[in-house]
């Protein structure tokens, strides 16, 4: 009992419960995806992600390896805050979010589009081979899909925005584009997602290479 009063003990017990409930539901996760899916379930208490998280071929390995010395771009400061800084440091990687940039805000006002879309353009100019973790804004995914069709080649894409307007559509669009241009992608199909999901996936990828804290 004392063990589950510590953060590490609570996480171990949570993962034990998740494993047991997956088994009860008859869900067997592929080995290369299990850690990612279970960390998302741990962050959300939602077992639907065992069915809705979609992976391009070899995405878990390719995404994790791309983080070595890489740059991870998020669409919210909330997702950025949730990503393990010690794991990033161990890999010589960094993470950033441009949503609060005044340049991004001004450009969005002038063009009458979302800051999320502008922040994608801003990020691609500064880190063209960075990885993108989109957990909130479907307009960011749509902009990224358009830029990929025009020649952008991010290291990988995590597409997990949440909501009702253009959310499912943006995920289908980024999935099709990433498949077509062979860009590793992890996408939560449907309406569910969020910054916590984006951070959970990023951390699962980081821990796969850097080890857990």
- Structure confidence by residue, pLDDT tens digits, 33-59: 999 999 999 999 999 999 999 999 999
Q: Is residue 183 part of a domain?
A: yes
Does the pLDDT at position 1 exceed 60?
no
Q: Tell the residue number behind the tokens 């358009």, with chain if given.
A: 146
Q: How many CA atoms lie within 13 A of 167 on its CB side?
A: 16
Q: Is residue 81 part of a domain?
A: yes
Q: Is residue 45 part of a domain?
A: no
Q: Is residue 32 part of a domain?
A: no
Average pLDDT for residues 1-6, to the nearest whole number?
64
For the chain, how many structural domains are there in total? 1
Tens of pLDDT, residues 167-190: 999 999 999 999 999 999 999 999
Q: The pTM is what?
A: 0.94
- CATH number at 191 reads 3.40.50.10230
Is 42 tagged catalytic?
Answer: yes
Domain enclosing residue 58, as ranges: 52-210
Q: Is residue 33 part of a domain?
A: no
Tens of pLDDT, residues 96-153: 999 999 999 999 999 999 999 999 999 999 999 999 999 999 999 999 999 999 999 9
Q: Is residue 15 part of a domain?
A: no
> Among the options 15, 33, 34, 42, which is catalytic?
42
């Amino acid at each position: 009992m004392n063990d589950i009063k510590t953060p590490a003990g609570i996480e171990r017990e949570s993962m034990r419960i998740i494993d047991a409930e997956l088994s009860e539901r008859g869900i067997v996760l592929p080995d290369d995806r299990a850690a990612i899916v279970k960390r998302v379930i741990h962050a959300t208490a939602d077992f639907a992600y065992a069915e809705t998280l979609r992976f391009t071929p070899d995405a878990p390995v390719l995404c994790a390896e791309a983080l070595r010395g890489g740059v991870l771009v998020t669409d919210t400061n909330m997702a950025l805050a949730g990503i393990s800084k010690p794991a990033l440091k161990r890999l010589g990687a960094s993470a950033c979010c441009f949503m609060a940039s005044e340049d991004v805000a001004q450009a969005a006002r002038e063009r009458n589009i979302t800051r999320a879309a502008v922040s994608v353009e801003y990020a691609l100019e500064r880190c063209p081979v960075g990885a993108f973790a989109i957990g909130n804004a479907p307009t960011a995914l749509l902009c990224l899909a358009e830029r990929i069709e025009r020649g952008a080649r991010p290291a990988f894409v995590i597409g997990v925005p949440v909501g009702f307007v253009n959310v499912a559509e943006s995920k289908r669009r980024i999935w099709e584009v990433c498949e077509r241009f062979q860009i590793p992608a992890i996408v939560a199909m449907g309406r569910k997602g969020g910054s916590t999901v984006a951070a959970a996936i990023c951390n699962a990828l980081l821990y796969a290479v850097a080890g857990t804290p």
